[in-house]
A and B are shown apart, each in its own frame.
Chain A
Amino acid sequence: MPDSAVTAVDLCKSFVDDSRGVIRAVDEVSFHVDRGEVLGILGVNGAGKTTTLRMLATLIEPTSGTASVDGHDVREDPKAARRSLGFLSSTTALYPRLTARETLRFFARMNGYPRERLEERVEKVVEMMSIGSYADTRIERLSTGMKQKVSIGRAMVHDPPVLVFDEPAAGLDVLNAHEMLAMIESLRDCGHAVVFSTHVMSEAERICSRIAVIHQGRILAEGTVPGLLERTRADTLEDAFVSLVESARV
């Protein structure tokens, strides 16, 4: 995997719960994502998608195994790993008292984007995301769809080679979700490596180059959509997913 922007090797994460004992939320998960590719991580709620992506973003530490982002090991050099990725999830909120433009500026600086090119980059992202009409409006006054656009801009403002989106369409209406998926497609086409988690099959089918099905912390299958359909002898991705999960239960 010479050109892989993201690699995960035997990633594990265990939590201790007083009532349930040791919970293995992620269990020996391995995958890679190349540049210009979207890897979809497909799973039901609680399957381990978010925990896996948070380990990539160095927000939580793997119990064992390792991962690297743009060649930076998440354990050895977490700061460089974070600077190489843009992380967006349904729980990564924006500062309500900043304007959209100030938000982009702030996160570009926080990720060490060169000061002399910062304004130019911010304006480029404003244009790319088509948020110019409300770029100077405070986040607290924007609609959910507008905020999501700014959030995507926030994640990519420092021009990272890797983008990690954890259920980014959660809570969005159909039109906004559609627009957001189009943006992810364009990012892929620009050569970014994208890791995308969802439990909505149609989203995965539309934009993912490859799909990893995760259930109870383990990857059950990984491949292209036609590959998965062939392997499970299913007609749709949804049927293929159900078949994989059911067989894992047995």
Chain B
Amino acid sequence: MDGPTIRTVFGNELRGALRDRTLTTHFIVIPLLLYPVLLWLGITVALLYDAGSEDTSYRVGISPGLDPALAGELRADPSIDAFFASSGAETGGPGGGFDATAGPVPGGDGLPGGCVITADLSTDRGRTAAGVLEGLARDVRAAGFARLRDSLGIGRAEWEVFRISTSNEAGGRDMGGFILGLLLPATFAVMVSIGCFYTAVDATAGERERGTIETLLSTGADRFSILAGKYLSVLVSGMTSGLLNTASMILCVSAILGPLLRSEGEEISFAVEPGAAFSAVFASALLSALLSALMIASSSLARNYKEGQAMVTPVYLLSVLPVIFMQDPSISFSVSTAAVPVLNAALLLRDSLTGPAEPLPMVISAVSTALFCLAALWAASSLLSREEAAFPGEATGKRSLYSLLRGRRNTGHA
């Protein structure tokens, strides 16, 4: 390996990537703006929904014999247009059918009377109307209980019999770490992957499509150093993507979610401890190192962007796997999970947000990732040393990937 060659290729690849709008969009702009845009969209949609729901009213039929208190509540509720129905739920009021109907259930055999709510629960309006009716019916029942308690002369505390309350001993910082741990790791893996994806394809398949691979391989540089320089540039773009995305999420959550939770009486801090920040950088490096190597290796076979994207997609999907395991809180960053690539980085990030990570699993993660990376880079280097790497399909008269895989090694392997 030749240090100056690695530095030169690395600088060239990174400069090229920073000058390409598509690449910068994928490894800088999207990771940075994803959460602000998502939050803005979420808030806008929520506001629109609230504004729309304020004007919405539900047509509710009141069947004869319904508890007068409940009937009164229904008529008084502004979100309900109540109509007296002469018979069952299907009876239409003026202009069409009801969203829901409320009818009486007679008491007897030791059971109290009440109401039955009928609605078409396969429709949004039916479900919402039934929910509103149920809420009002519960209020009427609660008022009934209060009247009974008063008539029996029982105090409030006696009536409650057994009080339950929960106290949260976690501090504001712990809760902030917990919330970030829920939100971050899943998208973190995807973002690192996106950051690596396009730069890897550009550095390999893009080089062939542009016709620069022959120019590059005709220089007096050794193949592995060229590959190492390209690998480092992909790694840096993946790490940049992951870290920008993490910073963006923490800022968004602190600036928007924090004040909202504080207004609800929750004191939550989203400040990140230095240890957690180090772990985030370490996790980002682990994931980028592995995905870069795998993506470089898989796209080394490709002759153009289209083929490169198709070949890198399985690696991209691999990065989505941790999302599945993240849902299980019993899986944590430990000696056994530290050896599993991709998952180890996501778990390390999640767990480090709620407490310091153990050094031994971190070492195991680094070793495991290094082994996978070396295997992938060895494969990529072998492919780059074949004649068809510079002239895919041309020299042998074949255009299949199979020909590339079984092609002759060229003399420029030094």
Where the two chains meet, the residues of A that have a C-beta atom closer than 8 Å to any C-beta of B are 15-18, 20, 23, 51, 54, 57-62, 74-75, 77-80, 82-84, 87, 89, 91-98, 102, 106-107, 109-112, 115, 138, 154, 158
Contact = CB atoms under 8 A, between A and B. Distances in A.
B4 interface: yes
Interface in B199-245: 210-212, 214-222
Contacts of A95: 12, 16, 210, 212
Interface string B4-19: 1100110010011001
A210 B15 CA distance: 43
B12 A83 contact: no
Contact of B12 (A79, A87, A98): A98
Contact of A17 (B15, B212, B397, B414): B397
B387 interface: yes
A92 B398 contact: no
A113 B211 CA distance: 24
Contacts of A83: 219-220
Contacts of B327: none
A125 B411 CA distance: 30
Given A58-B411, A95-B16, A110 B219 contact: yes
B220 A91 contact: no
Nearest to B9: A110
A61 B215 contact: no
B220 A111 contact: yes
Contacts of B217: 59
B410 A60 contact: yes
Contacts, number: 110
Contact of B218 (A16, A20, A59): A59
B32 to A, nearest CB: 22
Contact of B220 (A17, A51, A80, A138): A80
Nearest to B212: A93
A20 B398 CA distance: 11
A227 B17 CA distance: 53
Given A60-B387, A83-B220, A110-B220, A78 B8 contact: no
Contacts of B220: 79-80, 82-84, 110-112, 158
A16 B396 contact: yes
Contacts of A54: 391
A23 B394 CA distance: 13
Size band of the interface chain B makes with A: 35 or more
A81 B216 CA distance: 15
A82 B212 CA distance: 16
B5 A110 contact: yes
Given A97-B19, A110-B220, A91 B5 contact: no
Interface in B378-414: 387, 390-391, 395-398, 408-414
Contacts of B16: 95, 97-98
Nearest to A164: B218
A83 B390 CA distance: 18
Given A79-B220, A96-B210, A106-B12, A60 B395 contact: yes
Q: Determine which residue in A59, A62, A82, A110 has the highest number of CB atoms from chain B within 10 A of its CB, and name it.
A: A110
A182 to B, nearest CB: 23
Contacts of A20: 397
B20 interface: yes
Contacts of B408: 61
A205 B4 CA distance: 42
Nearest to A19: B397
Nearest to A23: B397
A58 B398 contact: no
B231 to A, nearest CB: 17
A84 B220 CA distance: 8
A15 B9 CA distance: 32
Given A94-B215, A95-B212, A112-B4, 20 more contacts: A17-B396, A51-B395, A59-B217, A60-B387, A60-B391, A61-B387, A61-B408, A77-B414, A78-B412, A82-B412, A92-B211, A93-B211, A95-B12, A98-B16, A107-B215, A109-B8, A110-B9, A110-B219, A110-B220, A111-B220
Going nearest first, the 9 A-B pairs with the smallest beta carbon separation are A83-B220, A93-B211, A110-B219, A87-B218, A92-B215, A82-B220, A97-B19, A61-B411, A17-B397
A227 to B, nearest CB: 32
13 contacts: A18-B398, A23-B397, A78-B414, A83-B219, A87-B218, A93-B210, A93-B212, A94-B215, A95-B210, A97-B20, A112-B4, A112-B220, A138-B19
A59 B20 CA distance: 29
B403 to A, nearest CB: 9
Nearest to A59: B390
Contacts of A80: 220
Contacts of A18: 398
Contacts of A60: 387, 390-391, 395, 410-411
Contacts of B391: 54, 59-60
Contacts of A94: 212, 215
Contacts of B221: 79, 110-112
B246 to A, nearest CB: 28
Contacts of B8: 106, 109-110
Contact of A75 (B210, B211, B387, B411): B411
Nearest to A79: B414
A110 B211 CA distance: 17
B152 to A, nearest CB: 85
Given A17-B397, A77-B414, A80-B220, A59 B214 contact: yes
Given A20-B397, A59-B412, A110-B8, A92 B214 contact: yes
A124 to B, nearest CB: 19
Contacts of A79: 220-222, 412, 414
A15 B12 CA distance: 34
A79 B214 CA distance: 15
B282 to A, nearest CB: 32
Nearest to B222: A79
